Amino acid sequence: NEAADEAAGSQATSVADDAAQSEDAVRLISAEDLFTDRDLNGSYDESSAVHVTLSDGGCSADGSGASADGSAVTITAAGTYVISGSLSSGQVVVDADGQKVQLVLAGANVSCADSAAIYVKAAKKVWLTLAEGGDNTLATTGDFVQSDDNTVDGAVFSKADLTINGTGALSVSSASGHGIVCKDALRLVSGTVDVTAARHAIQAKDYVAVSGGTWTLEAGTDGVHAENADDAEKGFIYVAGGSLDVTADSDGFDAANVLEVDGGSVSVGAVDDGLHAERDLVVNG
């Protein structure tokens, strides 16, 4: 039940370690409000999903909601889409205003010379799920060229809430811009993800929330950056679990609001600050 998935966040308390549960912990951010059951689950129904096959010779889809035009695939309807194959110069676009979309990467390799390899132009929420045993790569190999009103500047770029989960592996690279960019809320739940970017490795407008997974980030500017110039209550970073290994030419973590670490393993090598917050900074445990 998708409504229940969105409403429920009770399981999120399990992502924090024992230290975060202690009486001495200072809690400025509530994990219960950040992760839904569907975020934490990372499962999908293979039998009902639309399967998208990427190929330089022409992409294809075995169901409705996804269309292929040469080296571009566009998803316009709610549902689950299992993506496999390779594009040496192409793009996957989600243009499904108000809809919930799950993209399952199952051995998908997408390179784009001048835009995002995955571009969420419109949606209510998107789950980027890494299928078990799958190795995936998403890359922007050159300078970004704008094709619409959005300033696309990441190899993964989302205008909607974005959750990354699953048990597979993902490598993201951006030769001139950011790695993963979300213009709403970004949740990093699980998977093994490497990001190498000329600018920020991970950037979100509302917040970045990490509950698990293994994240290796190499950034030309900040490793993890959150900032919302329109809403001072947003632009925060929350780490409840997972393993983060960050190498950054500026700050390791940079929050325009609050930065709270309640669990997990965090290793930072930064030219500027390791952990930086414009307002409050809390490390529990």
∠ CA(85), CA(87), CA(89), 5° rounding? Answer: 175
pLDDT of residue 8: 42
Residues β-bridged to residue 230: none
Spell out a b/e string for 201-235, using b for 16 or more CB atoms within 10 Å of the CB, else e: bbbbbbbbbbbbbebbbbbbbbbbbbbbeeeeebb
∠ CA(161), CA(97), CA(7), 5° rounding? Answer: 45
Mean pLDDT for all residues in the chain = 92
Q: What DSSP string runs through 210-237?
A: E-S-EEEEEESS-SEEE--TT-TT--EE
Q: What is the CA radius of gyration of the chain?
A: 18
The Cα diameter of the chain in Å comes to 60
Q: State the DSSP code for 97.
A: T
pLDDT in tens, the chain (285 residues): 554 454 443 333 344 444 445 568 899 997 788 999 999 999 999 999 999 999 998 999 999 999 998 889 999 999 999 999 999 999 999 999 999 999 999 999 999 999 999 999 999 999 999 999 999 999 999 999 988 899 999 999 999 999 999 999 999 999 999 999 999 999 999 999 999 999 999 999 999 999 999 999 999 999 999 999 999 889 999 999 999 999 999 999 999 999 999 999 999 999 999 999 999 999 997
pLDDT of residue 15: 43
Q: What DSSP string runs through 12-75?
A: GGGGS-HHHHSTT---SS-GGGT--HHHHH----TTTSEEEEE-TT--EESSTTEEEETTEEEE
